[in-house]
Amino acid sequence: MVTIRADLPQLSAIEIEFDESFSVEPHRHDDHADTFYVLEGEIEFTVEDELVRAGPGTLVAAPPGTLHGFRNPGPARARVLNLHAPDGGFADSIRGG
């Protein structure tokens, strides 16, 4: 489940709730920082060549140009607040626009 919490040119805040079947393969953004605040569960992040396992209250940031991805190692659902600064059209891409 994906919920847009804020959509400004300078920042988008997206809440993502997902189970084990959801993952985002490592990728890069040249034009914005991609930051994750773990709200529930555990998430395994790839940041460049490092694996980081993070629980509630953890902030993981990928500055522009940083290789990053994430997945839920299970078994429980996980929830994050995903921040993009600047937004760069990310919220619109979620809406399908």
Contact 79, 62 (CB under 8 A): no
In the chain, the percentage of residues whose pLDDT exceeds 70 is 99
Q: How far apart (Å, rounded) are the C-alpha atoms in residues 51 and 24?
A: 14
Q: What are phi and psi of 21, to 5 degrees?
A: -80, -10
Contact 1, 39 (CB under 8 A): no
Reported as a pLDDT band with limits 50, 70 and 90, residue 97 is: low
The number of folded domains in the chain is 1
Per-residue model confidence as pLDDT tens digits over 8-22 = 999 999 999 999 988
Contact 81, 13 (CB under 8 A): yes
**Which position has the token pair 């805040």?**
13
Contact 78, 20 (CB under 8 A): no
Q: Is the pLDDT of residue 52 over 90?
A: yes
Write the CATH number for 35. Answer: 2.60.120.10
Domain boundaries, position 91: 2-95
Q: Is the pLDDT of residue 35 over 80?
A: yes
SS3 string, 25-84, reads EEECCCCCEEEEEEEECCEEEEECCEEEEECCCCEEEECCCCCEEEECCCCCCEEEEEEE
Reported as a pLDDT band with limits 50, 70 and 90, residue 83 is: very high
Task: Name the pTM for this structure.
Answer: 0.91
